[in-house]
Amino acid sequence: SSVENGRPLDPADWAVIDVVNYFRTAGFEEQANAFQEQEIDGKSLLLMTRNDVLTGLSLKLGPALKIYEYHVKPLQTQHLKNNS
């Protein structure tokens, strides 16, 4: 499968470390560790609800909202488009 930045293009194929590196690269250095602690891989990331991101990761609300709105939700939308 296609790879970009050392990560598979489809988030569903991401390992936990790919998810962590994705958020580190996006500027969420501190928050990225929460994804590692919770062992969230790409498949899990694509299943996360807004509530999971806001409450399940013990993140500060501001960064959590940005992570969901600007990263998790767009990745989910893109994944659905590519696989419909």
- Please indicate, yes or no, if residue 3 is contained in any of the structural domains: no
Q: What is the CATH number of the domain that holds 44?
A: 1.10.150.50
CA distances 53 to 5, 43, 69, 70, Å, are 24, 14, 10, 12
Q: Name residue 22's amino acid.
A: Y
- Please indicate, yes or no, if residue 40 is contained in any of the structural domains: yes
Q: Which domain holds residue 55?
A: 11-81
Extract the tokens encoding 8: 């598979």
Domain count, the chain: 1
67 close to 52: Cβ distance less than 8 angstroms: no
Extract the tokens encoding 6: 């050392």
What pLDDT digit, counting tens, does each position of 36-82 carry?
A: 999 999 999 999 999 999 999 999 999 999 999 999 999 999 999 99
- Please indicate, yes or no, if residue 1 is contained in any of the structural domains: no
Q: Residues for the chain: how many in total? A: 84
Full-model pTM = 0.92
Q: Name residue 68's amino acid.
A: Y
What pLDDT digit, counting tens, does each position of 29-44 carry?
A: 999 999 999 999 999 9
